[in-house]
Structure 1
Amino acid sequence: MRIAVVGGGISGLVAAYRLRQALGGGVELVLVEARERVGGILRTVEIAGEPVDLGAEAFVGRRREIPELMRELGIEEQLVHPAGRRPLVWSGGVGHRLPERTLMGIPAGAESVSGLVDAETVARIADEPNRPLEWKPGGDMSVGELVADRFGEQVVRRSVDPLLGGVYAGRADSIGVRAALPTLAAALDTGAASLTQAVARALPPPSDTPVFGGIRDGYGVLLEALRTAADVKVETATTATRLTRTATGWHLDPVGAVDAVILATPAPATATLLREISPAAADLVAGIELASSAVVALALPRDAPLPDNSGILVATDEPLRAKAFTLSSRKWPHLAARDVALVRASFGRFGNDTPLGWSDSDLVTAAVEDLTTVTGIEITPLTAVVQRWPNGLPQYAPGHTTRIAELRSATSDLPALALAGSYLNGVGVPACAASGTAAARRILEHLT
């Protein structure tokens, strides 16, 4: 038996690992990756002689996929958690404490954003429960449209945008409520009388579980452990160009005949491979837009007087070029012990990928100048590393959940084929790992 996995990101590697677990050594697994390395938008490099992540550097700790996967692979000792410091929001030329009791920046009450927005906006939020709410159960709209209508534009730009920018490299105007905030959509569907009430219902219950987790020596540890455990033949710098059905399975160029295939590729590549076998499915995937971003990792002198915060998010009505800074040495205790202070500057949002056209030196200059502005200290980096992520994150636009449901339906009659990836049911690392597991399960159900 021969199975192909197209795409060597976390989704594809988890899918290959799950197949190997279930099928043992009696199956040939081939993983095809267009890049010259596996990992997708996860990448660990050395800075000042030690590993640093240039893609995602954390995962949602309340989801169990990654901690459980680490235990299975015998690397659970690598699990770390942040120090508990909170980020700031840079707005109006001042750093504000990140509002509490919010759902992706949407406040459950006016007091949450007092000081971040003006008095008129605070009064509008306080009065919101007194205004009739129009929401069609099962419907959808952009997060920006909903929040601006109920709470005002300042809440969107200063509280919601900074958080959505970190998750999707997008803005509230490009992200739909139902896909990005399913608990909020559920609260609205079941009759919440106001957005204030819906947010209060949708907030997660208090928990002692850390909100985020990380990997001490970077995601490269997890990627290598998955690759080894999957015992998969990896063909990097190889682009899958065409997928066709045969009498007994599939033919994938340039791999050849396979009994089953998992497409763990970004949306555009998936659309290309589906075009011949299911034009309707290809059209659905092709309609998903993507955002590009870039990360500049800075190593500073260890004694650099950085703020005692985990990071600084930038409101979208500010003139700065960077959208956020992760003060990594403040956020993670294991990084605080190193000989340098580490900071990551993030650039690029959906609809504004101008920084990606800049040279590396221009990006580093912008990172240093903007970091100087938000911290008030003179920044002199010892080392700077630039990582670009062109078309790295799908945008969960209004109607995304309907699109994915229709995609599932359009591919349901394609035997021994499964889809995985960040464009399906979540862009975070745990969601991608879950999509890889689900794809492997679909193939196993067909084969058995």
Structure 2
Amino acid sequence: MPADSLPTRPHVAVVGGGIAGLAAALEVLDAVPGAHVTVLEAGDRFGGKLRLEPVAGHRVDVGAESLLAVRPEAVDLARRAGLEEDDLVTPATTSAQVWSRGALHPLPTGTVMGVPTDPPAARGLLDDAEVARATDEQPWPGERVETDVSVGQYVGHRMGRAVVDRLVEPLLGGVYAGHADRLSLQATVPALWQRAVRGESLRTPPAARPPAPGGSAPRSPFAGIRGGVGRLPGLVEDELRTRGALLRTDAVVRVLERAGERWRLVVGSAAHPATVEADAVVLAVPATPAARLLAELAPLAARSLGQVETASMAVVTLAVRRDGLPDLPGSGFLVPPVDGHGVKAATFSFAKWGWVGALSPEVVHLRASLGRAGEEAALQRDDAELVTLAVAEVGEALGAPLPPVVDHHVQRWGGGLPQYAVGHLGRVAAVRSDLARLPGVEVAGAVYDGVGIPAVIASATRAARAVAEHVTSAAGVAATTIASEGESG
């Protein structure tokens, strides 16, 4: 068999260099060690919404700052990328408050996305009449839910509007930057959805967390990384380069098209385009660019992706003098939108994470989040105004002004969180069904299986394994064909 007839290494192109794209690239190399992998990132850096920036001379997270540890994907990826075991850390505290009706109230324990299993435990957040209404749980018409509904519609009908406004909205705002009356019960709170389709009470206590090894205390559901979760993309990037992957920044993919049995991507400006051909492609980009690239190839998928709205938000990180700091309860607080504040959450990073608290003897780091779906106008303020608002409202919640601000950082995440509106899982199913007609093209990211880091990595793993199977099967067919032709010759 002539040397130039031998099958070449399969080439997989990954569009998008956030944690989904990086995780997909690593999974492809694990599944097909001989593959050539190219990661094409439109921006000037990898990592997406996992990011570190210096504040008062110390690098801290300005995007996601914790991992849901009850799922294995993120922790496993960190270990595969070489993170030292001692650098996986647990929060010093996860005790959260809710700033409501002018005071801080402990978030009741045993809630499912804010829905209280013991409504009297929420007294303070709820007044006596609201506690009585939540206790008097009403049946859903027909007893069982048969089609997707919004979280607000379902919980409000069964336990009263105050439970939605004062308890559910702050938690949904923290996770999705969305609103309960638009977000899908099926997609965002599957535990409540399962109860709804079975016609069960919402007041069933959630399953207890497993005990930690060697003791009776429950495991924290969260984990962090010493030095910041923003280290994770860099670790994966380094591992990919070590294993021969090509990683390109400032590589805007403008076109995806067929090239015989392969795929062609047009990269760069209209004035200076370049082409990249690949045997398979993972689109690890948000809904809008994915829809644009799929518009001609998979119009049904593109149309479904085009229906996914996004929310913008900003994270204001503050370094303030340690001297004169008022007592800060727990890890931070959440804010219900019904009270009309600009800040939707605050995290006392120095209290939550031991490594952050140890950064400096003079200053402490904390942060505030602003912005929900449909409230983009609130983010039109300049950075100085956002900092002033964050300082004022955090101080108001604590009942005492914050000490002087030594340094600050404002990170804006425009369109950063996809909104899982009612019917979202149907839209995702439609996308994947339409893409089944495009062998070797898969999608990954926060749009599909959850917005948390483990869920995003899981979607990347799913996509990577599918393209790995595709290129392996194609290589096997090609080798068999060449061998048959050689024997017949």
Under TM normalisation by the shorter chain, which class is it? over 0.9
Computing the radius of gyration over CA atoms, which structure comes out larger, 1 or 2? 2
2:415 aligned residue: 391
Question: Helix, strand or coil: the match of 2:277?
Answer: strand
Corresponding letter in the other structure for 2:400: I
Match of 1:343 among 342, 366, 380: 366
Counterpart residue identity of residue 366, structure 1: L
Identity across the alignment (%): 41
1: distance between equivalents of 2:449 and 2:207? 19
Q: CA deviation at 1:152?
A: 1.8
CA positional deviation for 1:80:
0.9
Q: Output one character per residue of 1:304-356: Cα deviation in whole Å (capped at 9) or x when no partner.
A: 22413100111111132111100111111221222121111100000112232
Q: What corresponds to 2:341 in structure 1? A: 320
Aligned to 1:334: 355
1:140 aligned residue (137, 142, 148):
148
Alignment of 1:36-47 (within 5 A): 36-47=44-55
- Structure 2 residue 258 is matched with structure 1 residue 245: yes
How far apart are 1:132 and its partner, in Å?
5.4
Specify the SS of the correspondent of 2:368: strand
Write the distance in 2 (CA, Å) between the matches of 1:17 and 1:401: 27
What letter matches 2:147 in structure 1? G
What letter matches 2:422 in structure 1?
P
SS in 1 for 2:396: helix
Partner residue of 2:446 out of 414, 422, 429 = 422
- Mapped partners of 1:187, 1:343: distance in 2: 37
CA distance in 1 between counterparts of 2:145 and 2:437 reads 30
1:85–1:308 contact (8 Å) kept in structure 2? no
Structure 1 residues 250, 396: closer, same or farther in 2, change over 3 A?
A: same
| Structure 2 counterparts to residues 184-263 of structure 1, below 5 A | 184-192=192-200, 194-197=201-204, 200=205, 203-207=206-210, 208-231=218-241, 232-254=245-267, 255-263=275-283
Query: What is the CA-CA distance between 1:137 and the residue it aligns to?
Result: 4.3
For normalisation by structure 2, the TM-score amounts to 0.87
Distance in 1 of aligned mates of 2:233 and 2:46: 8
Determine the structure 2 residue equivalent to 1:409: 433
1:113 Cα deviation from its structure 2 partner: 1.5
Q: Does 1:361 align with 2:408?
A: no
Q: Is the 8 A contact 2:311 2:414 kept in 1?
A: yes
**Contact residue 383 and residue 410 of structure 2 kept, 8 A:** yes
Partners of 1:133 and 1:195 within 8 A in 2: no
Q: Kindly state the Cα deviation for residue 364 of structure 1 after the two structures are TM-superposed.
A: 0.6
Q: Paired residue for 2:43, among 35, 38, 45?
A: 35
Q: Is 270-279 or 206-215 further displaced after alignment?
A: 206-215
**Distance in 2 (alpha carbons) for counterparts of 1:444 and 1:269:** 23
Residue 41 of structure 1: how far off its partner (Å): 1.2
Q: Is the 8 A contact 1:174 1:350 kept in 2?
A: no
For residue 240 of structure 2, what is the amino acid of its counterpart?
Answer: A
Give the CA deviation at 1:220.
3.2
- Give how far 1:101 is off: 1.4
**Farther-moved stretch of structure 1 (210-219 vs 390-399):** 210-219
SS of the residue aligned with 1:19? helix
Give the deviation of 1:112 after TM superposition.
3.1
- 3-state SS of 2:203 partner: helix
Gaps of 5+ in 2: 1-9, 211-217, 268-274, 473-489
Unaligned 5+ residue runs, structure 1?
Answer: none
In structure 2, distance between residues paired with 1:64 and 1:373 = 38
Q: Structure 2 CA distance, aligned partners of 1:337 and 1:118?
A: 40
Q: Quote the offset at 1:138 in angstroms.
A: 4.1
Whole-angstrom CA distance in 1 between matches of 2:92 and 2:286:
33
Matched residue count: 441
Q: How does 1:3-22 map to 2 (within 5 A)?
A: 3-22=12-31
1:265-297: per-residue Cα shift (whole Å, max 9, x none)?
Answer: 000010001101011110011101100000100
> How far off is 1:28 after superposition?
2.4
Alpha-carbon offset, residue 233 of structure 1: 1.7
State the shift of 1:191 in Å.
3.3
1:374 matched to 2:397? The reply is yes
Q: Is the 8 A contact 1:263 1:419 kept in 2?
A: yes
Paired residue for 1:103, among 112, 116, 129? 112
TM-score by length of 1: 0.95
The Cα offsets for residues 44-64 of structure 1, whole Å up to 9 and x where unpaired, read as 112222220101000111111
Q: Distance in 2 between matches of 1:223 and 1:206?
A: 29
1:253 counterpart SS class? strand
* Structure 1 counterpart SS, 2:333: strand
Q: CA deviation at 1:85?
A: 4.2
1:135 to partner: Cα distance = 5.2
CA displacement, residues 91-149 of structure 1 (integer Å, 9 cap, x when unaligned): 110111112111010111322322211111111111115x4554554411110111121
1:404–1:424 contact (8 Å) kept in structure 2? yes
Residues 132 and 154 of structure 1, relative CA distance in 2, 3 Å threshold: closer
